[in-house]
């Protein structure tokens, strides 16, 4: 009888251990999903904004360069960030174990373009035996609540090829301003469709371009001594296709186009979430993780190019899209043939 009772006790303890382990595994799985879900929403405006900022304004005419012509440009895309992109709605009902400290279930919180003022803390409940414990996490801050402009300066070279085509190369070295570092490169191919039939003074062409972007947002506060790599690191691939039309008007070229963008971003969070000291056991779960964001959209661009001479020109364009943008550039053309 004693042996049977002892066996039942052992079975009960093992069952409790297995149940506790399953509960812990479920909690950890939910914690990682909640943190990742928030991370995706936090950086989502940047994914769309960067897509336009980095891969916009590849062209200044539908007329391609002649074989042997090379055009060098110093250019800038300036993207405007609307105030509505500074925050997003966080509904705790969309998460597994998340709740706000003040008991509310829906709240506007900062995106990567905004700031929580005051700080916003969320609580995550979990069970240890019969007792309930709480993890307190401070939500990360964005770049700046007054962030309105996102400039991208780059060099672009357009090289004329046979059969009314040209290859385009653009590059921006690693540039740091404030807490942000960024660099990018891209390659494109444009073909003039109207080369194959007669037109008066207007041209039509198609473009396909690929951009690679890397950016880092340093989330450390001023004077803070922490891991140098603490922050948000983003890598993005952007594919851009466009149909372009232009018309020559004396020294001016009027051009415009409709474009389609698709982008995929992988964002790595390193030490962004702050967890209260008594729950540092879970810090490793949220210290380093990655999220993926995808974005697709259309835009419409209209621009004007002024030919100062046969070699020198300047241009300005505006793009109607989710994040409005303007494009400025100055170009110098040579012919090596």
Domain boundaries, the chain: 2-82+148-335, 88-137
Residue 100: φ, ψ to 5°: -85, 150
Provide the pLDDT for residue 18.
39
What confidence tier does 171 reach under pLDDT thresholds 50, 70, 90? very high
Q: Is the pTM of this model over 0.85?
A: no
pLDDT band of residue 183 (cuts 50, 70, 90) is very high
Let me know: does 260 contact 48? Beta carbons within 8 Å: no
Are 126 and 155 spatial neighbours (Cβ–Cβ below 8 Å)?
no
β-partners of residue 99 are: 123
Residue whose C-alpha is closest to residue 257's, from 62, 65, 74, 73: 62
- Determine the pLDDT at residue 6: 39
Confidence of residue 228 (pLDDT cuts 50, 70, 90): low
Tell me if the bond preceding 331 is cis, omega within 30° of 0.
Answer: no
Token pair 């967890």 in the structure block, residue: 275
Nearest to 173 by CA among 213, 210, 209: 213
Look at residue 27 in the predicted model and tell me its pLDDT: 74
Per the prediction, the chain carries an average pLDDT of: 84
Q: How many CB atoms lie within 10 A of CB 106?
A: 11
- Of the candidates 242, 224, 190, 220, which has an alpha carbon nearest to the alpha carbon of residue 71? 190
Higher pLDDT, 6 or 146: 146
* pLDDT greater at residue 5 or residue 168: 168
178 pLDDT above the threshold of 80 = no
Residue predicted with more confidence, 282 or 153 = 153
> Is the confidence at residue 138, as pLDDT, over 70?
yes
The pLDDT value recorded for residue 14 is 39
CA distance to 32, 196, 243, 313, per residue, from 164 (Å):
52, 9, 15, 21
- Digit-coded pLDDT (tens) for 233-254: 999 999 999 999 999 998 999 9
- Lowest average pLDDT, out of 18-22, 162-166, 254-258, goes to 18-22
Grade residue 29 by pLDDT with cuts at 50, 70 and 90: confident
Q: What is the pLDDT of residues 77-134, one digit of tens each?
A: 988 888 888 899 999 999 988 889 888 999 999 998 888 888 898 888 776 666 777 8
CB 107 within 8 A of CB 90: yes
Distance CA 39, CA 26 (A): 20
pLDDT at 336: 78
Select, from the ranges 46-60, 154-168, 273-287, the one with the highest average predicted confidence (pLDDT): 154-168
Is the Cβ–Cβ distance between 213 and 228 less than 8 Å? no
Q: Please report, in angstroms and rounded to a whole number, the separation of the first and last CA atoms in the chain.
A: 103
* Residue 15 confidence (pLDDT): 40
The most confident of 43-47, 109-113, 158-162, by mean pLDDT: 158-162
Give the pLDDT band of residue 50 (cuts 50, 70, 90).
Answer: confident
pLDDT at 132: 74
Is the predicted pLDDT of residue 1 greater than 70, yes or no?
A: no
Q: Residues near 22 by Cβ (< 8 Å), separated by ≥ 6?
A: none
Show Cβ contacts of residue 51 under 8 Å, excluding neighbours closer than 6 positions.
236, 238, 261, 263, 295, 297
CATH class of 2-82+148-335: mainly beta
Nearest to 103 by CA among 123, 77, 84: 123
3-class state of residue 116 by DSSP: coil
User: Percentage of residues in the chain with pLDDT exceeding 70?
Assistant: 83
């Amino acid at each position: 009888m004693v042996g049977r009772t002892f066996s039942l006790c052992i079975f009960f303890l093992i069952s409790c251990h297995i149940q506790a382990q399953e509960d812990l595994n479920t909690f950890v799985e939910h914690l990682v999903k909640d943190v990742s879900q928030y991370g995706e929403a936090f950086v989502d405006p940047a994914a769309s904004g960067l897509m336009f900022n980095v891969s916009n304004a590849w062209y200044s005419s539908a007329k391609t360069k002649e074989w042997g012509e090379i055009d060098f440009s110093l250019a800038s895309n300036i993207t405007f960030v609307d105030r509505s992109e500074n925050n997003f709605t966080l509904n705790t009902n969309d998460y597994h174990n998340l709740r706000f400290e003040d008991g509310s279930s829906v709240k506007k919180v900062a995106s990567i373009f905004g700031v929580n003022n005051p700080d916003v803390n969320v609580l995550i409940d979990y069970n240890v035996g019969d007792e309930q414990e709480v993890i307190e996490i401070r939500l990360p801050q964005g770049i700046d609540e007054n962030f309105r402009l996102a400039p991208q300066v780059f060099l672009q070279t357009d090289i004329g090829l046979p059969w009314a085509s040209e290859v385009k190369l653009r590059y921006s070295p690693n540039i740091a301003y404030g807490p942000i570092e960024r660099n990018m490169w891209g390659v494109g191919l444009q073909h003039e469709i109207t080369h194959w039939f007669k037109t008066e003074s207007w041209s039509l062409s198609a473009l396909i371009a690929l951009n690679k972007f890397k950016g880092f947002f340093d989330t450390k506060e001023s004077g803070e001594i922490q891991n140098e790599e603490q922050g948000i690191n983003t890598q993005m691939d952007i594919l851009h296709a466009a149909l372009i039309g232009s018309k020559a008007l004396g020294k001016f070229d009027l051009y415009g186009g409709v474009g389609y963008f698709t982008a995929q971003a992988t964002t790595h969070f390193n030490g962004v979430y702050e967890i209260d000291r008594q729950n540092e056991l879970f810090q490793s779960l949220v210290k380093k993780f990655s999220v993926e964001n995808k974005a697709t959209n259309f835009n419409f661009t209209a621009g004007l190019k002024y030919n100062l001479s046969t070699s020198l020109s300047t241009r300005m364009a505006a793009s109607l899209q989710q994040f409005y943008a303007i494009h400025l550039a100055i170009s110098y053309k040579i012919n090596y043939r």
